[in-house]
Amino acid sequence: MSIIKKGSVTIKDIAQELNISTSTVSRALADNPLVKPATKAAVKELAKKYHYQPNFTALSLRSNKTNTIGIIIPQIVHEFFALVIRGIEDYAYSQGYNVIICSSHESYEREVLDAKALLSGRVDGLLACISRDTNDLAHFIEFKERGIPIVFFDRTSDISETSKVEIDDYNAAYQAVKHLIDIGRKSIAYVGGSKNLNINKDRLAGYSKALSEAGLKTQKDWIVHCEAEDFESGKESTTDLIKKNEIDGLFASTDMLAVGAIKNMKAQGLQIPKDIAVVGFSNWSISSLYEPSISTVDQPGYEMGLKASEILIRHINNPDEKNESVILQTELIIRESSTLV
């Protein structure tokens, strides 16, 4: 029986028990050929017996590497973001990295707090998707100043000279609205999320482009912006729109907004897609489960995560790596809400 340690077993404990130095133990565990086979065996046996696990903190301090990457993301209860996270994790794990996820809950203050927490040398790199409320990017710039690489994904910023991985929101929206036009709709409204985000500006631009290209006009009150992108907003923000009875098509920048809108329309006795055809965005599971099933734009979330972490880890391993900007394409999925019967 040996002495029971309260905390974890360290290299020093093993060294003491075998009457050798910590250096030798360290080398033995690293399979260094300098160590005599017999010593090596003894060390390894004891390490196994005591479930020795190198102290992560000590290792990090010595090597100045944490083998951890940080993720700052606005929400995690979000099918798209969750997919991104999964992609990030899968690649990161395969490269021996761990992951710290911080959810900013769409709050600028929380995002700054999270950034500060990650700045103190806890992570070797950062993957960030800015919150709805974020305008000032100073907290991210500090990372660059300390030589901690950042890759932005999905929601990026014009200012930052960093690598980014984005969705081609402009084209995705363009295709979605073009599809509505192709099935004969002429008065198409837009319901979108926060104007603050580039992705929404791009989606709106794609919408406008499709209309103008087809020689169609929109009206000022056919374009609605909601801060929250939830079901309730979709419902409330479309009430006026529906009352006027002017539109025959709707492009929503989020599936949840689409569901809210459709529910509202159905309540007013409108038929979907006969009276109004609807296309959403993101391909959340509800879009296929809802009745009618909702046409939408599928975003490659998993690929986005994979790509973002791949670029980040490349930056970590090679500080001189030049910035890279990736734009991923989407796929329009046509379902009942925009199919003529």
Partner DNA sequence: AATGAAATTGCAATCGTTTGCAGAACATAG
Partner DNA sequence: CTATGTTCTGCAAACGATTGCAATTTCATT
> Does 283 sit near a second copy (CB under 8 A)?
no
- Helix ranges (H only) for 30-160 are 37-49, 56-63, 79-94, 108-119, 138-145
The continuous run of DSSP H or E covering 72 comes out as strand 68-73
Site for a second copy in 178-217 (CB under 8 A): none
59 lies in the binding site for DNA (CB under 7 A): yes
The answer to whether 41 contacts DNA (rule: CB under 7 A) is: no
The one-character DSSP state at 336 is: G
Nearer residue to a second copy within complex by CB, 85 or 177: 85
Show contacts with a second copy in window 223-262 (CB under 8 A).
231, 259
Q: Which is nearer to a second copy, 77 or 340 (CB)?
A: 77
Closer Cβ to DNA, 30 or 289, answer by number: 30
* Residue 321 beta carbon to DNA: minimum distance, rounded to whole angstroms: 22
Using the Cα atoms of residue 177, residue 179, residue 182 and residue 187 in order, give the sign of their dihedral.
negative
| Residue 327 binds to DNA (criterion: CB under 7 A) | no
Give the C-alpha separation, 164 to 166, whole Å: 6
Min dist. Cβ of residue 122 to DNA (A):
12
Q: Is the peptide bond before 300 cis (omega within 30 degrees of 0)?
A: no
Closest by CA to 100, choosing from 125, 137, 132, is 125
Our CA angle for 151, 317, 93, nearest 5°, is 75
Closer residue to DNA (CB): 40 or 164:
40
Q: Strands 163-167 and 68-73, how do they pair?
A: unpaired
Count of other CB atoms within 10 angstroms of residue 10: 18
In the shown chain, the binding pattern of residues 60 to 99 toward DNA, with x for contact by CB under 7 A and - for none, equals: -xxxx-----------------------------------
C-beta of 93: minimal distance to a second copy in Å?
Answer: 8
Assess whether the previous peptide bond of 292 is cis (omega < 30° from 0).
yes
CB of 190 to DNA, least distance (A): 50
Q: Is 12 in the site for DNA (CB under 7 A)?
A: yes
Instruction: Report CA 33 to chain centroid distance, whole Å.
Output: 45
Per rule CB under 8 A, is residue 336 in the interface with a second copy?
no
Sign of the four-CA dihedral 138, 143, 144, 145? positive
What is the enclosing helix (H) or strand (E) of 249? strand 249-252
Instruction: Compute CA distances 22 → 25, 39, 322, whole Å.
Output: 5, 12, 41
Give the count of beta carbons closer than 10 Å to the beta carbon of residue 144: 14
Q: Classify strands 331-333 and 296-298 as parallel, antiparallel or unpaired.
A: antiparallel
Q: Considering only 54-62, 144-152, 207-215, 225-233, which stretch makes contact with DNA by CB under 7 A? A: 54-62
| Contact status: 285 vs DNA (CB under 7 A) | no
Nearer to a second copy, 46 or 102 (CB): 102
Q: Does 286 bind a second copy (CB under 8 A)?
A: yes
Both structure tokens of 330: 């989407």
Residues 43-82 that bind a second copy (CB under 8 A): 51, 53-58, 60-61, 64, 66, 76-79, 82
The residues that touch DNA, with contacts defined as CB under 7 A, are 7, 10-12, 19-24, 26-27, 29-30, 33-39, 52, 54-55, 58-59, 61-64
The residues that touch a second copy, with contacts defined as CB under 8 A, are 6-8, 51, 53-58, 60-61, 64, 66, 76-79, 82-83, 85-86, 89, 93, 98-103, 105, 113, 116-117, 119-122, 142, 145-147, 231, 259, 263, 285-286, 289-291
